[in-house]
Amino acid sequence: MVTEPILHVDMDAFYASVEVIKDPSLAGKPVIVGGQGGRGVVTSASYEARAFGVGSAMPMVRARRLCPQAFFVPNDFPAYLDYSQRIREVFVSFTPLVEPLSLDEAFLDVSGSVKLFGDPVIMARAIKERIAALGLPCTVGVAPNKFLAKLASDRGKPNGLLVVSAERVLEFLHPLPVTALWGVGEQTAMALERLGLRTVGDLADLPRKVLERAVGEALGSHLHALANGVDDRPVVPHEPAKSIGSEETFAHDLDDVGEIKREILRLADRTAERLRSKGLCGRTVTLKIRFANFKTITRSRTLEMEVDTTPALYDVAEDLFDRLDPDRPRIRLLGVTASGLISGPPRRQLNLLPEQAGDPRGERWDDATKALDDIRRRFGSDSLAPATLLYPPDKGQSARMIL
């Protein structure tokens, strides 16, 4: 019987590590990746930059103050997706039971692979070596369940391998602070501290019923189980995406209609490219808007047929925008998302004369989209774009697309 069958693989400073692969001169230097505008946030920081206190989700303005000598690099999501797919290929070469959590981390259940590759620790070392051959560092946690494997990888960073054996679960777990438990946020931690519960061991020693009365039955039962190293959740492979989208917070608030629609077009183009790269299409288009006063709204429309092209997404998002109150406040953030996803290209209604009908979803547009994707795969996402994004319309004009 395999007693530590779960691996949690977490890439170390993934986006920053990819940028070092792209530009080897950045190796060993503080690298900060993220939005470059005044309202941008850090999406990844190398460990050299973290030594100065820079961390993910930090405002870029603060990161520049903490580490002005760093190399600041904009996000390159197509490159990160490419390397994420390469990493995924390494995972599935060891086990089909892979549960991605994001582009840079995943759970693996290797219990069925020991006869082929050896015990889980041997597989963890082999996975690290294969990923290192791509030029990327990672940390692997090996443990009896998902919760413990994730804790192990968190505490094994950077570029480590930490094993929590079944015999030493409580020895590993009980000295940790209660905040190490999933579900313990700031408010719950304060409530537990009022009870004198500071470590996981303190919480494990408390009778479950007492804990349930203190923080609620569901949460109390959940925390009591975790504090005793119990987590029965299986690794769930190939969980389908529920939605795919793109959003952006702008360096300055937008109030010009032409500029707003150009940004909607840019986001629709990015979302369409992501849909096609994953072999998906969607029926529901959602426009997200955050105003300068931080009020956030969403407007959605479900279509009769699935879509995966920039014109189709943009036409819906533009109409959703046009139906808003014309006296709306200035706009801080925009997003365009597709949901109701299915695999494969959109199903087509029979149209004998798509060219005469001007149908942008006809065969000629399919051919153009395929050519667009081929060029972008070869030369990068910025190599080809709707002409409107290259040549801005006059102030106040609508962002009509020219391809």
- Measured CA to CA in angstroms, residue 264 lies from 85, 158, 260, 321, 366 at distances of 28, 39, 6, 9, 22
306 catalytic residue (yes or no): no
Name the active-site residue from 4, 19, 105, 259. 105
d(C-alpha 44, C-alpha 128), whole Å: 20
Angle at CA of residue 243, ends 241 and 249, nearest 5°: 125
Name the burial class of residue 390, with classes exposed (0-12), middle (13-18) and buried (19+) by CB atoms within 10 angstroms of its CB: exposed
Q: How many CB atoms lie within 10 A of CB 243?
A: 14
Q: What type of residue is 38?
A: G
Q: What type of residue is 336?
A: V
DSSP 242: S
Confirm if 370 and 277 have CB atoms less than 8 A apart. Answer: no
Which residues fall within 8 angstroms of residue 224, CB to CB, at 6 or more apart? Answer: 203, 204, 206, 208, 211, 212
- Sheet bearing 161-163, strands edge to edge: 98-102, 105-109, 6-11, 138-143, 161-163
d(C-alpha 107, C-alpha 124), whole Å: 12
Confirm if 384 and 369 have CB atoms less than 8 A apart. Answer: no
Confirm if 264 and 287 have CB atoms less than 8 A apart. Answer: yes
DSSP 362: S
Confirm if 248 and 334 have CB atoms less than 8 A apart. Answer: yes
- Measured CA to CA in angstroms, residue 240 lies from 85, 88, 90, 284 at distances of 15, 15, 20, 16
Q: Which H/E stretch holds residue 128?
A: helix 120-132
DSSP 26: G
Catalytic residue set: 105
